[in-house]
Amino acid sequence: MHLPQLSFLSLLPALAGCATVAMMKGLPPDAGGLARYSAPPDTLVAVAEIAIRQQHLVVVDTSRDDAARVMIGRRTPGLFSKGEYVRVRIVPDSAGLMAVRIVSQSGDLLDWFHRDLAPRVFQAMDAHLSAAALGPWLGTRVRATPRGASAPLIGTVARVTPDSLVLEGGSRVSVLDSIAVSRGSYRHTRAGALIGLLLGGFVGGLIGSASSDPRDPWASLNILAGISVGIGAGAVVGGALGAGARTEIWSPVPIH
């Protein structure tokens, strides 16, 4: 039995907590968000490459994995970014459709504030495809506004008939003003932590100032300690609240 020889140098990025192209290629096939399309694989590969570039990433690897087409996009780290990796995997699905899975990863594996880029990549792909390619298909989450309705219906497609959509729960929609398909959601952990940090520091400074005696030579240190404690507590609380707040991304489907 022969074991593959691995260079220690090739393991250094992973040991240092950094994502790599090889790591992205080695993720499970079902990792990431899923969308189904009625389009040829070559068309999906082309629009996926465009979508990756629109997110300011560079396509650094393309390959075939059995029947799948795989693309890896990468953004190098910058002043305000730890870098980004995206994997797009395109494989035949049931009913003649193509299944596209997109997973994103910060360049730093320990980046707790990473915002999932997959919904935006899906949305960018949708913009380059026809309505016939987008569906919606069975199992797709949709936001449908019936003709003349003031509010949309949001649900998962349970059945598609020639003249209507039936959502889980029994709602039937036939004549539509608009319809959009969900492409996933992302958290606001980083924004929440930043807002919490600023507010916490401000409140902590006020508390430290109010509890200090102006004649005390250590008063400025008390204020600084209040700011520091406020920053830490605010970042934790704000990050937790931001992690619980999600924004769903919708792609409109043209109605003929």
CATH of domain 8-134: 3.30.310.80
Q: Which is nearest to 242 in space by CA: 234, 230, 250?
A: 234
Q: pLDDT band for position 255 (50/70/90)? A: confident
Query: How far is it, in rounded angstroms, from Cα 49 to Cα 42?
Result: 11
Structure tokens at 11: 């393991």
pLDDT at residue 46 tops 50: yes
pLDDT (0 to 100) of residue 109: 66
pLDDT (0 to 100) of residue 7: 45
Q: pLDDT band for position 224 (50/70/90)? A: confident
Q: Which residue has the higher pLDDT, 123 or 244?
A: 123
Please give the radius of gyration of the chain, using alpha carbons only, rounded to the nearest integer. 24
At residue 204, what is the residue type? G
Structure tokens at 248: 């769903």
Q: pLDDT band for position 200 (50/70/90)? A: confident
Supply the mean pLDDT for the chain: 85
Query: How far is it, in rounded angstroms, from Cα 131 to Cα 214?
Result: 68
CATH fold label, 135-183: SH3 type barrels. (2.30.30)
* pTM exceeds 0.85 for this model: no
pLDDT digits (tens, 9 = 90+) for 29-41: 999 999 999 999 9
Query: How far is it, in rounded angstroms, from Cα 241 to Cα 221?
Result: 30
Query: How far is it, in rounded angstroms, from Cα 49 to Cα 69?
Result: 12
Pick the range with the lowest mean pLDDT from 20-24, 96-100, 139-143. Answer: 20-24
Q: What is the DSSP-derived secondary structure letter of residue 50?
A: H
Phi and psi angles of residue 219, each rounded to the nearest 5 degrees, phi first: -60, -40
pLDDT at residue 134 tops 50: yes
Examine domains 8-134 and 135-183 and report if their fold is the same.
Answer: no
* Highest averaged pLDDT of the listed ranges 5-14, 103-112, 173-182: 173-182
pLDDT digits (tens, 9 = 90+) for 149-184: 888 889 999 988 877 888 988 888 888 888 999 999
Q: Domain coordinates of the chain in residue numbers?
A: 8-134, 135-183, 190-244
Query: How far is it, in rounded angstroms, from Cα 15 to Cα 30?
Result: 24
DSSP run (H or E) holding 178: strand 176-187
For residue 244, with 0-12 CB atoms within 10 Å meaning exposed, 13-18 middle and 19 or more buried, which class applies? exposed
Q: pLDDT band for position 133 (50/70/90)? A: very high
CA dihedral 122, 123, 124, 128 (to 10 degrees): 100
